[in-house]
Amino acid sequence: MHHSSYEQINPDFLIGKLRYEIASLKDSDRIRIFLDEYFCTREPLQVALEVTPEEIHEQYDSVLPSVLSKPVSILGFEKNELVCICLNSIQELSSENRHDPICDSFNVLKDDYSQDIENGPYRSVKANAIKVFLSELERGLPTSLPDCRRLFNIEIVVVHPMHKGRGICAELIDLSIKLAKSYDCDYIATCATAANSQYIFAKNNFSPIKEIQLSKFLQNGIPVFSNVKEDASSCVLMVKHIKE
């Protein structure tokens, strides 16, 4: 894989409603600004906790290098304005990381997550709560896909609110599937936290393999994401087999 050459070349399949580009590390700053404005304020888990950009930056900063160091993430522009981002990663699954001693409890939740949240990697409790929740949703995925050697993950998808409903998210999913196929991935997966994204991924033939009701994710006996809007009562881990 010649990573650097992808920055200039707009692969033929990155064609659609917008001008699409493969993102790289040099796009980090503008992606951070876009996330502050259009992700942190609209994605249901962050909205439920009313996170501020300051509280969530550490999490963004830990994700950005992994999604930008390989040519797997997509930016979409219209008249040079950034309209959407789709941040992706590729994970190699070996027999070691497939081993999951608690795989039997793939779908079983702990009674309480306060300890895990307290021990989280970030300074912000809210950022740790989101991290622990998403890790719990993803937990056991490699074990549940025994024929998957290489997994393509859609980590973050955001469309500028002025451009929503134009089918741009659906197009980003389609382009990501094409990218994943070009990198010889076996499956593509995502944690769909918003009801509309669950609908869009299902329409693109992603199957739900695990669902966590937000009301069941407790910290000291209280639902962490209690302040959720009606468009987000649960989050769903969704996958699609893409190997031909």
Ligand X SMILES: CC(C)(COP(=O)(O)OP(=O)(O)OC[C@H]1O[C@@H](n2cnc3c(N)ncnc32)[C@H](O)[C@@H]1OP(=O)(O)O)[C@@H](O)C(=O)NCCC(=O)NCCS
Task: Show the tokens assigned to 212.
Answer: 């966590």
**Toward ligand X, which CB reaches closer, 132 or 169?**
169
Give the residue with the Cβ less far from ligand X, 101 or 165. 165
CB of 11 to ligand X, least distance (A): 21
Closest CA to 38 of 162, 123, 136, 143: 162
Binding to ligand X by residue 159, rule CB under 6 A?
A: yes
CB of 26 to ligand X, least distance (A): 23
b/e sequence 156-188, b meaning 16+ C-beta within 10 Å:
bbbbbeebeeeebbbbbbebbbebbbeeebbbb
Per CB under 6 A, the list member of 28, 66, 143, 196 interacting with ligand X is: 196
State the Cα–Cα distance between residues 72 and 13, nearest whole angstrom: 13
| Contact pattern for ligand X over residues 91 through 130, marking x by CB under 6 A | ----------------------------------------
Between CA 172 and CA 154 the distance in angstroms is 10
Nearest distance in Å: CB 85, ligand X: 9
Q: In DSSP terms, which residues pair with 187 in a beta bridge?
A: 151, 241
One-letter identity of residue 58 = E
- 62 vs 77: CA distance, rounded Å: 25
Determine which residue in the list 158, 180, 188, 214 makes contact with ligand X, applying CB under 6 A. 158
Binding residue (CB under 6 A) for ligand X from 128, 193, 219, 234: 193
200 near ligand X, judged by CB under 6 A: yes
Binding site for ligand X (CB under 6 A): 39, 42-43, 157-159, 164-170, 192-194, 196-197, 199-200
